[in-house]
């Protein structure tokens, strides 16, 4: 599977599921072309069909899950574009380009520690499924501000889940990076755990520091504003260890060593 393959056309897809999951909205639409190509960590450029001028740009969103020909997204309605998407009902249509970007690399047999913060948990569902299907031991650290956001943990099954909230309303009190060092010890006869993470930049910077101090490999999915999603506009550039990187086409998944965390 080519994790950077871009379909040739913008798709119009019918919404077949739309429901509230705590603070977030989950929508599913029929898109066999995308479902057949989707790789964990890739994203879509998506908007509600018919809203091409308001807002002007589509929104980049990680693929939450695929089942047969269905593609599922988890939406945090924080602005006009995401609020319009979250309001999509069954029968509405969305305009979608994807799958885009470079996803997580899945090779290896080390235990996997998946770390998600807020809406950054979204692409970890598909990733957890793929890693578990490959025979890897999977543990998820999922962090939220409050209990309302943490309702989204109901979307994960078949893997160990630790919940952390900043207000302590459910699970462990603190930041999602707090328990990470204790999850990274090498067990006898096993390789050292590998970290896979998605979330806000301060969380990823903390994970990069912990991975470096503990000597563990780590891949992180970087969040960024995007205009085109295909590497043409240079609007999502970040500073890498050896130069500038485009989040949409060089990533969004990077090794922590490839990014400058200053």
DSSP state of 184: -
- CA-CA distance, 105 to 100, in Å (whole number)? 15
What confidence score (pLDDT) does residue 247 get?
Answer: 93
- CA-CA distance, 101 to 34, in Å (whole number)? 13
What confidence score (pLDDT) does residue 57 get?
Answer: 78
What confidence score (pLDDT) does residue 80 get?
Answer: 85
Omega before 13 within 30 of 0, i.e. cis: no
Percentages (nearest 5) of helix, strand, coil residues in the chain: 20, 35, 45
pLDDT in tens for each of the 262 residues of the chain? 344 444 446 899 999 999 999 999 999 999 999 999 999 999 999 998 876 656 667 889 999 999 999 999 999 999 888 999 999 999 999 999 999 999 999 999 999 999 999 999 999 999 999 999 999 999 999 999 999 999 999 999 889 999 999 999 999 999 999 999 999 988 888 899 999 999 999 999 999 999 999 999 999 999 888 888 888 888 899 999 889 999 999 999 999 999 999 7
Closest CA to 31 of 17, 47, 45, 13: 13
Cβ neighbours of 88 (radius 10 Å): 21
What confidence score (pLDDT) does residue 58 get?
Answer: 85
Strands of 11-21's sheet in order across: 59-62, 43-48, 93-100, 11-21, 24-30, 70-75, 65-67
- CA-CA distance, 127 to 16, in Å (whole number)? 23
- CA-CA distance, 53 to 237, in Å (whole number)? 24
Do 42 and 101 contact (CB within 8 A), yes or no? yes
- CA-CA distance, 121 to 89, in Å (whole number)? 23
- CA-CA distance, 260 to 41, in Å (whole number)? 20
Which residue ranges form the domains of the chain, and what is each CATH number?
Answer: 11-100 (2.40.30.10), 112-216 (3.40.50.80)
């Amino acid at each position: 599977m080519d994790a950077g393959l871009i379909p040739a056309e913008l798709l119009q897809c019918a919404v077949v599921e739309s429901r509230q999951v705590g603070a977030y909205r989950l929508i599913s639409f029929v898109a066999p072309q995308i479902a057949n190509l989707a790789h964990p960590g890739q994203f879509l450029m998506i908007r509600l069909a018919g809203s091409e001028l308001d807002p002007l740009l589509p929104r980049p969103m990680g693929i939450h899950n695929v089942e047969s020909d269905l593609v599922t997204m988890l939406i945090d309605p924080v602005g006009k574009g995401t609020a319009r998407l979250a309001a999509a009902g069954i029968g509405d249509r969305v305009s979608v380009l994807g799958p885009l970007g470079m996803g997580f690399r899945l090779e290896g047999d080390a235990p996997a520690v998946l770390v998600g913060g807020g809406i950054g948990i979204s692409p970890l569902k598909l990733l957890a499924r793929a890693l578990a299907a490959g025979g890897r031991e999977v543990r998820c650290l999922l962090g939220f501000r409050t209990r309302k956001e943490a309702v989204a943990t109901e979307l994960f099954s078949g893997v160990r889940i630790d919940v952390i909230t900043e207000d302590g309303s459910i699970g462990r009190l603190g930041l999602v990076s707090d328990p990470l060092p204790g999850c990274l010890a090498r067990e006898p006869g096993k390789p050292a755990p590998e970290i896979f993470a998605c979330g806000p930049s301060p969380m990823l910077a903390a994970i990069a520091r912990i991975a470096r101090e503990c000597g563990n490999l780590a891949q992180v999915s970087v969040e960024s504003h995007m205009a085109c999603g295909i590497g043409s506009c240079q609007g999502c550039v970040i500073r890498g260890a050896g130069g500038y990187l485009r989040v949409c086409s060089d990533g969004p998944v990077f090794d922590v060593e490839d990014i400058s965390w200053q």
